[in-house]
Amino acid sequence: MTEPALATLTRLRTACSQCNLRELCLPVGLSADELETLDNLVSTRRKIRRGDSLFYGGEPFSALYAVRYGFFKSTLTSGDGREQVTGFYMAGELLGMDGIGGDRHTCTLTALEDSEVCVMPFARVEDLSREFEPLQRHFHKVLSREIVRDQGVMLLLGSMRAEERLAAFLVNLSQRLTARGFSASEFVLRMTRDEIGSYLGMKLETVSRLFSRFQEDHLIEVHQKHVRILDIGGLKRVMAQAQGAA
């Protein structure tokens, strides 16, 4: 079966099977053959400039998004205007799953640097999931992992002290960057102290003070947004210092 040349180009340009993120993104674990089935999962790509939002809380839900490059934060706004950062997302991670349950997005996704996402219309995700068992299985895993991730943050917020939380945050960031081929020990924070603080349930001054203390303790070197991890083992020790362990 043939298709117009332009359509072929478009399909190939957005094809999962050609994407260098296929080891991280939705198709992870699928064979090359299976991968081709996904090649019409992505309808288009969309660029979002730093500071702009991919979607806002309250907007109708229609698609999931995979980060191709860039960096996002998700924020939740409570009835009384409080804002909480609920997550940070980088290449290969999936956005928008909060919207499935109520047909509207509950959180706002904002780019912290110029970014690009693959747009996957949700109806298409569900259609393909029904036809193609490996995709269904994998999609369920991705949803479940988001639940587990959120529960991990609950553990962090509910039972750890500020310095433990920040250490855990740095270790997690380092691990995710490593998985993407970046340096595990040196990186540039894309978010402000205020955003880190919101995510970790503390004030920006506390974040700043703790960065300084970690530096004094030779765990990290920090200069504004540049962070170098000097002693990852030390950070892990800080993060596990359950003093009031139940």
Partner DNA sequence: CCCCGCGCTTGACGGGGATCAAGCGGAAAA
Partner DNA sequence: TTTTCCGCTTGATCCCCGTCAAGCGCGGGG
Near its own copies in 5-64, by CB under 8 A: none
Which residue stretch of 104-112, 118-126, 169-177, 200-208 sits at the interface with DNA (rule: CB under 7 A)?
200-208
Q: Least CB distance from residue 157 to DNA, whole Å? A: 11
* SS3 state of residue 208: helix
> Site for DNA (CB under 7 A): which residue of 72, 187, 211, 214?
211
E strands, 3-107, in order: 44-48, 53-55, 63-77, 83-90, 94-95
How would you classify the pairing of strands 94-95 and 83-90? unpaired
**Which one, of 97, 102, 146, 156, lies nearest residue 126 by Cα?**
97
Query: Closer to its own copies at the Cβ: 43 or 106?
Result: 106
Please give the helix or strand (H or E) that residue 127 lies within, else none. helix 122-131
Please give the helix or strand (H or E) that residue 160 lies within, else none. none
Partner from its own copies, DNA, none binding residue 153, C-beta < 5-8 Å depending on class: its own copies
Interface pattern 104-143 for its own copies (x via CB under 8 A)? --xx------------------x--xxx-x--xx--xxxx
Asked whether position 163 contacts DNA by CB under 7 A, the answer is yes
Q: Report residue 217 CA to chain centroid gap.
A: 29
Binding-site ranges for DNA (CB under 7 A):
161-163, 189, 192-194, 201-209, 211-212, 222-225, 243-244
